[in-house]
Structure 1
Amino acid sequence: MAIFILTLIICNLLFLLSKASSTDTLTLSQSLPDGTTLVSKDETFELGFFSLRNSTNRYVGIWFKNIPVKTIVWVANRDHPLKDNSTKLTITCDGNLVLLTKNNTVHWSTNTTTKPLRPTLQLLNTGNLILRNDNDDNNSINNEEKFLWQSFDYPCDTLLPGMKLGWNKKTGLNRRVTAWKNWDDPSAGNFTWGITFDSNPEMVLWNGTSKYHRSGPWNGVRFSGAFGGSNSLTTHPLFVYKLVNNNNDEAYYSYSSINKSLISIVVMNQTLFRRQRIIWIPENGTWRLFQTAPRDICDTYNPCGSYANCMVDASPVCQCLEGFEPKSSETMDLAQGCVRREPWRCKVEGRDGFRKFIGLKFPDTTHSWVNRSMTLEECKVKCRENCSCTAYANLDIRGAGSGCSIWFGDLIDLKVVSQSGQYLYIRIADSQTDSKDAHKKKALLLIGTTVAPIALVVLLAIFYYYRRKRKYEVEKKSEVGGQEDSMELPLFDLATIVNATNNFSTDNKLGQGGFGPVYKGVLVDGQEIAVKRLSRSSGQGLTEFKNEVILCAKLQHRNLVKVLGCCIEGEEKMLLYEYMPNRSLDSFLFG
């Protein structure tokens, strides 16, 4: 028992000693031999030596410390593997981080030219390995301008939150992410992701020196080729995406996680030729795929040629833009691109105009020019003045839009995107511009010349009909002799009685007399009525009906059925009685 307790105490002491010896810094007087590590203060990342599963080569790299699936995010000597474990990482007096072999030969170096007084190596909580002056204050770790060197400037196959993908225009540094050659070889493959150094930069995947996928230029809100939902490079509930393009300083893309506990990285996959965003799921202990690019054939670079629109759900996939036709009319092979249906002549009235397109990924910006202060109208004038200009658009779509972006030469790599609000104005023959508006004008002209006269005739006919009807009703009322006053009975309109009797339904018919049929009805207030309807075939005319109405109005008695009113409308003449549910007197007299 005593031996067990002693062993336990020794193990605990060794654990505490190892924890106490864990550090995130390496000073000039120290070295990091193979078998030891640096750990960031929050213990998220770890720096040390490692080998891959089917290789004996040794590398220095950074990985997630607390993720059981060892995920390497950076490798120092990716193209210069070590052959044994008798090496160490140290800082030289000239301020460089170097990897020394057993005979103290420099195997790898940061190759910095700055000569600091007291250089210190530190692994930050972001996964960034930095060289800094030891006499700098703690705030210097948040100011990359004070860094002598940082691993974030030399990414491998992984983009971490806060890393910059793109250019430092002052120094010419180009931060690009390059895939591993294969799972057991972290050396640089031929699949690369970076930012173009154009006037209007965009993110591009390269396969060797060939473009493989393009994001489209940034429009102030998102990349123009980005789709909505979780696959877009826009503001997302989990992430914040940013593109910075300072004319003289930097052009870079970066992202950050809104939820700091969320672990997410972007990895270049050489095997699948995909850029993949993956998220760590601690409950399952696995990485889960969250985003990928390219996603389909229309997401690859220029599958349809110039002036052709790629639509993944269409058949064929490639469709010429409106006003254009296939370049190859014999084979109808749209992969060769499209040409204008009608030729245009620069600056010639009637042969030079622009057509507006919406919902397109903007063309390749290799041959483009931008101005951040121009209005859209000024942009149009600028494009029209240059015969090489083939399209123009707002540089920034926020609000009313601002800035100018114009393209020269053929427009390539176009596709339909789900996001709206992006307008591209493409140069085309003036007779072909605004064809939709022309069709609308023709339609309106057709309506004005044909439909309007017909409508006028109809209105005149309706006016004539109601005038005659009104005249007829006035004459009938005059014939009745102002019965509304003399009859002393309320007048009901025909619509009320039709509704009450369910349009004189046979189910509501109570009987038939010499005057005409009698129907049961229910008024809107629930009162039950009996409607005596004068038959057109009866011998009783308007004079007889008038006399009956006047008589009924005067013969109101508690032992007689109460007359509620009458209806005289057109050919219809009706009397409304109180409904008596016990049938007529003859039923009682004659059984």
Structure 2
Amino acid sequence: MKLGIDRAKGLDRYLTSWKSRDDPSPGDFTYRLNPSGYPQMILMNKSVVLSSSGPWNGIRFSGIPQLRTNPVFRFGFVFNQNEIYYYFNVLKSSVPSMVVLNENGIVRRFTWVDRTKSWFLYLSPQTDDCDTYASCGGNGNCTIASSPKCMCLTGFVPKDPSDWESGDWSNGCVRRTELDCPGGDKFLKYTQVKLPDARQSWFNESMNLQECEQTCLRNCSCTAYSNLDIRGQGSGCLLWFGDLMDIRQVNENIQGIYVRMAASEVGQIFGFSHQSRSEDLDLPMFDLTTLVNATGNFSEDNKLGEGGFGAVYKGVLRNGQEIAVKRLSENSRQGQVEFKNEVAYIAKLQHRNLIKILGCCIQVDEMMLIYEFLPNRSLDCFIFDQEKGVSLDWPRRFTIINGVALGLLYLHRDSRLRIIHRDLKAENILLDNEMNPKISDFGLARSFGGNESEANTKRVVGTFGYMSPEYAINGFYSVKSDVFSFGVLVLEIVSGKRNRGFNHPDKHLNLLGYAWTLSRDQKFMELVDPLIVSTFNPVEVLRSIHVALLCVQNNPHDRPEMSSVVMMLNSESTLPQPKQPGFFYETSASEASSSSDSRHKKYSANEITISHLLPR
């Protein structure tokens, strides 16, 4: 069956309701394909729009997520010079099916159940009040699980606050900050929403998403854009003009729509500096209700941990996808800084050994980041635990060492932003199902541009035991600061002991000093975790210890860069002898500071702010 237009034959196929249950004469309701802009199915009562399907996205109509591959009928959409139509064909003649527009204006698909000798309701595009056309007005978003169900899009405010408060949302929302076109606008990305009414839209099937964005920017009337077809990597361009009508929450939708906003508004939302706003945000926005439902209203049972940012919760989306939700603590000033860092940096990073961010939520008074969920938690849960440590044999530990090294190399050299992590530690190495490592927590990260390679700060943040001497004492950091942290981490992985708190009973050495002394005396086996003795490769273990000691040398100029580290870990080349490591003995920051030269003394221990972050 076809619903749509055949221009060659002059046909327009659509459904019309009966006048009443007993009167088959034409009623007031029609369900037809509207060809204006980009075609969509529209339900009308005479001339009044009651509901729309949203535009076709290559797989289904954007506003009908329940329309999916099924055993009853095949469906699709045809759009060419001669015809525009939506079709559906019954797959089995033995299973009769029919689509009905009843006298009350409700579209339903029924299938015949032979066992009960009756028609069974199989599908209806109208499921709840949010399917009522433009129920939240222009630039509003309808979420049926919320109370109230209507909220303005981020950066918009109610056009008539008094009506809005009383539950009349029909006037919709207006921009809090007017657009600054040409040249001063950016875009916010939304996912999990039905795309707006496309009757006032323009489309191009051959453009890519970047060309689509530029086309929208050049037209000051353009208010949003998206891909036309979401299959594969996405293709085509769909532009909207004027108010965005008939948006609703659809958790199953992964397609992104980019809503135009003044650049200053984007900056206010994310608290970015002018420099950070130079690139568009490309991070999906999650609805608060979705996250409340996914985490059981942030139940303590779903709490994974807590740190300077706030708490982290496990969640499950309606499609079954597991997520980790990092929720900003209400009074966390440190967390606000970290939130901005995470959004600014990790959204632009993609590497198999970095945690993947799925989106963020900025709604009401909430600020949250959503990540992929990694079931094996963090590395510290294994290497510092006698019971769990058994499951992390040497081959897995060596894979983790190499994976972290590759992740750091990407951050330092190969990413769009040259990034120093500044808080690399076992707690921030997450493990996936196969124990592959993912570097996480970019809240303290800093980026370098151009030829920059080092910087200085009076506010030292990070974790003692992993911080390099020049950073902990002087506030001086560079890529070599991360190299030092990596060296500490490798020694902890090999030994199963924490550097922080380790103290040799005879020589008062910390883990670094102990490892260096054993290596010098050719007694490296005494450092190896007894849990991996039966599975370890002596050559790999010895080489890992040697490389780690090169990384923790006191002078940052003596430490290798991560490109050399990656090569040394997996080659048979002769390695230089490591010099004495930083913090050779177990000393406090104040002791280290007082023993340094006058150049170091300008920052006392009291002047250094240390944020010892908890595992997340």
TM-score in terms of structure 2 length: 0.47
The structure whose RCO (Cα within 8 Å, separation 6+) is larger is 2
Q: When you count strand as a share of all residues, which structure comes out higher?
A: 1
TM-score, normalised to structure 1, is 0.48
Query: Looking at CA atoms only, which structure, 1 or 2, has the larger radius of gyration?
Result: 1
